Amino acid sequence: MFLNVVVKRLLIAVPTLLALTIILFLMVKAIPGDPAQLLLGDKATPESLQQVREELGLNKPIAVQYGIYLYNLVVNFDMGNSISSQEPVISLIGDKFPATIELSVMAILFAMLVGVPIGLIAASRPGSFVDFTSMSTAVFGVSMPVFWLGLILMWIFGLALGWLPISGRLGIDYYYEPTTGFLLFDSLFIEQDIEMFRDALAHLILPAITLGTIPMAFLARITRASMLEVLQQDFIRTAKAKGVTFWKIYLVHSFKNASIPITTILGLQFGTLLAGAIITETIFSWPGMGNWILSSVNARDIPALEGGVIAVAAAFVLINLVVDVLYRLIDPRIRLS
């Protein structure tokens, strides 16, 4: 039954992704610039340009190009080769996704561990000085440009204090040969090198905070709002009348009910993180999807760009599904249908 629903959900995701590929395909075609020219550079001869256009199928009508693309994707699970590196896009995604997932998970952990407590503290005394301070911090977090925050953190903790590495995923003395692509996991369990693990963790801190600040602020605000809402409800009054202590009501009865909207926001924010990763990854020279998608846009590397965006979108859909399932675990009254 449960599995059935999950499968059904996955099937619903198919038309969503299909629509996405169509929109994406059209948008990519609308980007100005001739990919052949960008591939070959300013000095390309007209003949070699023509040759490349033919090789990439850029001469065919858009509908035909799309048909070929979709056929290869669905039937062969092939997204073509990246124009700039000539490697299969599928394997490039495999190379880069783990770095982004690692960063996003750390960012969301930061957002949860900081954002939720801030929201709880603020809601415990609405209107107080504590409330005001925490919520101002949250607004500040939402409104701060990511690249600015990243550079400031880098400047303070990397340059001035020298506590943390400035950029990159691993120190210059280490060389990482990916097994799973998850550096923390690989360094700890495959390489079994605790120093390398520590170094990798240190490199994660600043980008994770940079990426996690906006979700952290959102979470703080939604936690506060849901808590305040739940606290107004009848069963809380009942609990109070029965003599349950404030903190028990607050942390057990209320928080459990408030955690549903929090989970929703968490899921959505996790998706948004993947987009936010473009800026964060570029600033911190992080070798993940965001960095790659941005450089693919700059290089008009169309197969890489399409593959990258589809992969991120698929991940977004998947995360939403996971969130739906989580709802059910939190509150069995919600039905997955």
- Is there binding between residue 128 and other proteins (CB under 8 A)? no
- Is there binding between residue 333 and other proteins (CB under 8 A)? no
Burial profile 269-291: b = 16 or more Cβ within 10 angstroms, e = fewer: bbbbbbebbbbbbbbbebbbbbb
Work out how close the CB of 232 gets to other proteins at its nearest, in angstroms, rounded to a whole number.
Answer: 47
Helix, strand, coil: what percent of the chain each, to 5?
Answer: 75, 0, 25
From CA 84, how far away is CA 48, in angstroms rounded? 16
Region binding other proteins by CB under 8 A among candidate stretches 2-10, 21-29, 80-88, 237-245: 80-88
- Is there binding between residue 283 and other proteins (CB under 8 A)? yes
First to last CA, the chain: 11
Residue of 5, 40, 184, 225 that binds other proteins (CB under 8 A): 40
CB closer to other proteins out of 222 and 304:
304
Minimal CA–CA distance to 227: which of 146, 118, 308, 147?
A: 118
- Is there binding between residue 295 and other proteins (CB under 8 A)? yes
Residue of 17, 121, 170, 325 that binds other proteins (CB under 8 A): 170
* Burial class of residue 131 in the structure, from the number of CB atoms within 10 Å of its CB (0-12 exposed, 13-18 middle, 19+ buried): middle
Looking at residues 198 to 257 of the shown chain, list those that interact with other proteins (rule: CB under 8 A).
Answer: none
From CA 168, how far away is CA 92, in angstroms rounded? 19
34: CB partners within 8 A, 6+ apart = 49, 53, 300
- Is there binding between residue 167 and other proteins (CB under 8 A)? yes
Region binding other proteins by CB under 8 A among candidate stretches 39-47, 131-139, 213-221, 303-311: 39-47
Q: Can you read off the two tokens belonging to residue 298?
A: 């700059």
- Is there binding between residue 145 and other proteins (CB under 8 A)? no
Region binding other proteins by CB under 8 A among candidate stretches 36-44, 114-122, 216-224, 259-267: 36-44
- Is there binding between residue 42 and other proteins (CB under 8 A)? yes
Residue of 5, 24, 44, 228 that binds other proteins (CB under 8 A): 44
Work out how close the CB of 287 gets to other proteins at its nearest, in angstroms, rounded to a whole number.
Answer: 4
264: CB partners within 8 A, 6+ apart = 323
Number of residues that bind other proteins (CB under 8 A): 43
Work out how close the CB of 175 gets to other proteins at its nearest, in angstroms, rounded to a whole number.
Answer: 5
Specify the DSSP element, H or E, that contains 256. helix 255-283
CB closer to other proteins out of 245 and 285:
285
From CA 19, how far away is CA 114, in angstroms rounded? 37
Residue of 2, 47, 76, 127 that binds other proteins (CB under 8 A): 47
Q: Can you read off the two tokens belonging to residue 181?
A: 């692509």
39: CB partners within 8 A, 6+ apart = 52, 83, 84, 299, 300
- Is there binding between residue 161 and other proteins (CB under 8 A)? no
Residues that bind other proteins (CB under 8 A): 32-34, 37-38, 40-48, 51-52, 84-86, 95, 147, 151, 154-155, 158-159, 162, 166-170, 172, 175-176, 282-285, 287, 291-292, 295
